Amino acid sequence: MKGSNISDIQPILAIAIMEMCRAKKGESFCPSEVVKWIYPESWQHFMEDVLVEMMKLYQIGMIEVTQNKIPISPDRIPKGELRIKAKF
């Protein structure tokens, strides 16, 4: 994942994450909210994809990702509940 840039990101998921950041107006949200919004019937199938895209956006500085209100390492996706927040 290291060395990612914006062109490596799946557009629909990246756009959805960034749009949810805008809609939440500075409040954090769970990655599952993104896939539930786009794929309400089969959101579970897209959790891994949204986590990968979340990490790409995090690594290039577009979003903040925390676990228990502490920024996570940009090198791997941790287990457990994560929160996304806009960095702008």
| pTM of the predicted model as reported, rounded to 2 decimal places | 0.85
Question: Is residue 1 pLDDT above 50, yes or no?
Answer: no
Q: Residue 60's pLDDT band (boundaries 50, 70, 90)?
A: very high
Fold (topology level) of 6-86: Arc Repressor Mutant, subunit A (1.10.10)
Q: Residue 88's pLDDT band (boundaries 50, 70, 90)?
A: confident
**Tens of pLDDT along 13-52?**
999 999 999 999 999 999 999 999 999 999 999 999 999 9
Contact call for residues 31 and 82 (beta carbons, < 8 A) = yes
CB-count exposure of residue 81 (10 Å: 0-12, 13-18, 19+) = exposed
Which residues on adjacent β-strands are paired with residue 84? 29, 65
